[in-house]
Amino acid sequence: MEDKKKQVPLRLSASLWKELVAWAEDDFRSLNGQIEFLLTECVRNRKKKGRAADSMPGAPGDNSTED
């Protein structure tokens, strides 16, 4: 199956837009590509942190019991 992208309207402040455009240009990406890259990285980091937190004793989802 083809991976279709969803279109999402996004409102940004003028200052944030300018910062993102400059960052995208530095990384040789379009603004849309830069936003997608940043969101993908954030989700990936969140998943990594979630796994690390889940493996800690006493973390939510930890089913071990201490005696």
Encode pLDDT of 12-55 as tens digits: 999 999 999 999 999 999 999 999 999 999 999 999 988 776 66
More confident site: 1 or 16: 16
Residue boundaries of the structural domains of the chain: 28-53
More confident site: 64 or 57: 57
- Which residues are CB-neighbours of 64 under 8 A, at least 6 positions away? 57
CA terminus-to-terminus distance, the chain: 50
Q: Dihedral sign, CA of 43, 44, 48, 51? A: positive
Whether the pLDDT of residue 67 is over 50: the answer is no
pLDDT at 63: 54
pTM tops 0.85: no
- Which residues are CB-neighbours of 20 under 8 A, at least 6 positions away? 12, 31, 34, 35
Asked if 24 and 33 touch (Cβ cutoff 8 Å), the reply is yes
